[in-house]
Every structure is written in C-alpha cells, then in structure tokens.
Amino acid sequence: MALEVTPVPCLEDNYAYVLRCTATGACAVVDPSDADVVLAALRALDARPSMILNTHHHLDHVAGNEALAAAFPGIAVIAHVSDRGRVPAQTASVENFDKVSLGDVTLQAMHVPGHSLGDVAWAAPDAAFTGDTLFLAGCGRIFEGHPQMMLTSLDRLATELDPRTRIYCGHEYTVKNLRFALTVEPGSADLVEALRFAESQRAAGTPTVPHTLANELRTNPFLRCDDDAFADAIGVRGGPLAVFTHLRELRNAF
Ligand SMILES: [Zn+2]
C-alpha cells in the first residue's frame, strides 16, 4: 500500500495535491484552487480523480471545485460538516475521526479548527495534508477561532501523527517562516541549515514540501510552545498558550 503525492503549485503560493493509490490507481485532489492548473496536472499524470478533499472553505483552496465537478461527473467533494454551504459543490461531510478510502489507502479526517472553524487535516498512514493549520516552520493565521483552539489543533497534529509522517501544507511560506523563526531563536544551527536548504530549493523552483513531522517538531516554533527551555530562551513565562500567543503576534507583524 502506498500513496503517491504530486504537489501542484497554484495561484501565487498555494499547493493543490494530486493523490494516487499506487496499488489501485485510485486518485484524489486536495484543495484544487485553480481548476486549469489542476486539470493540466491531472492530464499530465493521466489521472481521473474520484474525489476532492478540501481542508477548509477559503477560496484559495476551493475555487476549482465546481470546474472539476463538471469535468468529472460523480466526483465526491468532501469537507467538514460545518463547512456545508461554504464549500462549492460539496457532496459529503466528515466529522472528526471519519475515514475515507482512496483505493487501498485510508485517509482520516482530523478536525483542527483555529484558522477557520471547519479546518480538516487529512491524514494517511505516512502523509498528512494540513491545509492552513500547520505550515512548514509555521502555522496559519487565526481568522475564525482563538489561540487556544489553534494551539490544541497543532498539539493534536504533533502528538497523534507518527513523527515520520510527511507534512504537505497549503502554502509555500517555508522560507519566510524560517526567517521569522530565526528572529525568535537567532543562531539556531537547525534553523540556519533548514533555511539554507529551503532557499536552495526555491532558487531551483522546487517545492519545499514535504517535511517530516519529526523535522517540524525540531524547527517549527509553533510546535514547541510546551518546551520550557524554548520558552525560557525567548523569555516568555505563563505556559504554552502564552508562548503561542506571543509567537503568533510576532509572526502577524513580521
Ligand atoms: Zn485559509
């Protein structure tokens, strides 16, 4: 059983993903934000998707739903139950822990609100599609939730996914996120190396996705809010929520 993932850069800095179960050829698209670009990617891969998995309702993640639904009659369009009415062409709803099958691959919906209220991370055994909740070296802005809600969602991803899980996020923000992380922790050898590598990838036109969760646990400041040594190093007292809120405010202004 294996899941093949093809990142499809869309719009300015979004990622859609084409997923394929290598055993059965079953195919899905995560967050088709630009129908033309995604349809071209599907043609190049000779792939016919049976489902769209949306991470949340924002237009830069769902704008291609209608056109793909027209191109592939009968395609399932799946998003969180609370996003019904906000996700175009939605045909099915999931709640926390619900599972969908893509050929031999099972993807579990993890409800991870905070960025919006209906965010879902789609977790396969060795890959997770985290939308605008968890970015590489960062996390999404809080638009509909509140800081504790977002922190709880990030904690779930950090603790419930296997550290070897490949993280595929919704935007290419990695270089800027690592530059921000270095302002919080100047001189961190891990961050300097991660930034150097991410910059070389971008210079070559290569996506920085995926990183493993293990890598993120080491370098993503938003996944280290419960690390006392980290809190001491950045001079924040008051526990994980205080650290998270401080980091999010700094990042919003970065
Ligand atoms: Zn969003």
Q: Is pLDDT of 227 > 70? A: yes
Mean pLDDT of 145-165: 98
Find tokens 């969760």 and name the residue.
213
**pLDDT on residue 9:** 98
Cβ neighbours of residue 115 closer than 8 Å, sequence gap 6 or more: 56, 131, 132, 133, 139, 140, 141, 142, 143, 144, 145, 150
Q: Which residue in 57, 80, 111, 171 is the catalytic one?
A: 171
d(CA 123, CA 108): 5
**pLDDT on residue 32:** 98
pLDDT digits (tens, 9 = 90+) for 119-135: 999 999 999 999 999 99
Residue 196 banded pLDDT, cuts 50, 70, 90: very high
Q: Kindly list the structural domains of the chain, giving each domain's residue range(s) and its CATH number in brackets, ordered by start.
A: 3-131+161-169 (3.60.15.10), 174-252 (no CATH)
d(CA 235, CA 80): 38
- Taking residue 127's Cβ as centre, other Cβ atoms within 10 Å add up to 22
CA of 183 to the centre of ligand 1 (A): 25
- Taking residue 176's Cβ as centre, other Cβ atoms within 10 Å add up to 17
d(CA 180, CA 90): 36
Mean pLDDT of 115-119: 98
pLDDT digits (tens, 9 = 90+) for 164-186: 999 999 999 999 999 999 999 99
CA of 34 to the centre of ligand 1 (A): 15
Mean pLDDT of 83-92: 97
Q: Is pLDDT of 1 > 70? A: no
pTM of the entire predicted model: 0.97
**pLDDT on residue 91:** 98
61 is catalytic: yes
DSSP 217-243: HHH-GGG-TT-HHHHHHHT--S-HHHH
Q: Is pLDDT of 77 > 70? A: yes
pLDDT digits (tens, 9 = 90+) for 26-74: 999 999 999 999 999 999 999 999 999 999 999 999 999 999 999 999 9
Q: Which residue in 31, 34, 57, 58 is the catalytic one?
A: 58
132 is catalytic: yes
Residue 148 banded pLDDT, cuts 50, 70, 90: very high
Q: Which residue in 34, 83, 119, 132 is the catalytic one?
A: 132
Q: Say whether 78 sits in a helix, a strand or coil.
A: strand
Percent of the chain with pLDDT over 90: 99
CA of 150 to the centre of ligand 1 (A): 13
